[in-house]
Amino acid sequence: MKALEVKDLWFSYGGEDVLKGVNFSAEAGETVAILGPNGAGKTTLLKLILGLLKPRRGEVRIFGLPPEKARGYIGYVPQNLQPNRRMPITAFSVVMMGLYEGILKWPGKPQRMEAERVLEEVGILSLKKRLFGELSGGQRQRVLIARALVRKPKLLILDEPETGLDPSFQEGFYKLLLKIREKYGTTIITVTHDVMAVSQVVSSIACLNRTVVVHGRPQEVLTGENLKCLYGEAAAYFGHGPAPHLIVEKHRD
């Protein structure tokens, strides 16, 4: 069974089609990056996958189920979350949110131990009593990943996770993703701007610009032709050693 199937998905805001007939799927254990320019509908697509928005046409299936019924399978890391910095909430409490089961269903000791284990796994157990608002961008991102992981998700969805990360932690972050995939066999869907870094981590890339322009293995997808189609400007791409690079052609005025 496919971990994620998106079939002929249409969505519009105020009469304008933001997504037009999007089709793509992910096998269990696969890591898919969704790439595209600003306004391509990436975040809208994620919200449809998460069941936060309803499509005008088409459907989303997560392990064969509609999103509202597949919530137990999903871990979600939102884009650049900016809660009130004065909110007195510890890193540990944020992770515990991931174990929410419903009204009046309070977590017990096994859940608290699980939250500690996951904090240790992402390398920030020592920060568990620190307030979320006092942490650095990279530390906060790890807390949010821990909150998603504590649910033991079969499908992990990340929305531009590299936003707000200090460059020194970016590499570590992608290593963490690899570790999660290897250890748990989690299917990972990540929206990203960072073409260079993800191409080394993901198994496939879906290029989105209102519709899926192309979906395939990184080396097949990241061609000058596709990038031109996606970014609309004179973007060209070439391989250089193991790390692919993206350059933009000099503008001719």
Report if residue 62 touches other proteins, rule: CB under 8 A: no
In angstroms, the CA 17 to CA 15 distance is: 6
Residues between 208 and 237 with contacts to other proteins, criterion CB under 8 A: none
Residues between 112 and 131 with contacts to other proteins, criterion CB under 8 A: 129, 131
Per DSSP, 200 falls in state T
Give min distance, CB of 89 to other proteins, in A: 6
In the list 29, 78, 164, 224, the residue contacting other proteins (rule: CB under 8 A) is 78
Q: How many CB atoms lie within 10 A of CB 208?
A: 24
Helices and strands, counts by H and E, the chain = 8, 11
Q: Which is nearer to other proteins, 47 or 193 (CB)?
A: 47
What ranges in the chain are assigned the alpha helix state H?
Answer: 42-50, 91-97, 109-121, 137-149, 167-184, 195-198, 218-221, 224-231
Q: How many residues bind other proteins (CB under 8 A)?
A: 28
| Binding range to other proteins, per CB under 8 A, among 17-25, 91-99, 135-143, 180-188 | 91-99
Report if residue 11 touches other proteins, rule: CB under 8 A: no
Q: Which is nearer to other proteins, 140 or 215 (CB)?
A: 140
Q: Which is nearer to other proteins, 24 or 132 (CB)?
A: 132
Q: Which is nearer to other proteins, 1 or 104 (CB)?
A: 104
Strand order in the sheet with 74-77: 74-77, 155-159, 187-192, 31-35, 204-208, 212-216
Give min distance, CB of 243 to other proteins, in A: 33
In angstroms, the CA 33 to CA 48 distance is: 16
Report if residue 93 touches other proteins, rule: CB under 8 A: yes
Give min distance, CB of 103 to other proteins, in A: 6
Residues that bind other proteins (CB under 8 A): 50-52, 71, 74, 76, 78, 81, 83-84, 86-90, 93-94, 97-98, 100, 102-104, 106, 129, 131-132, 147
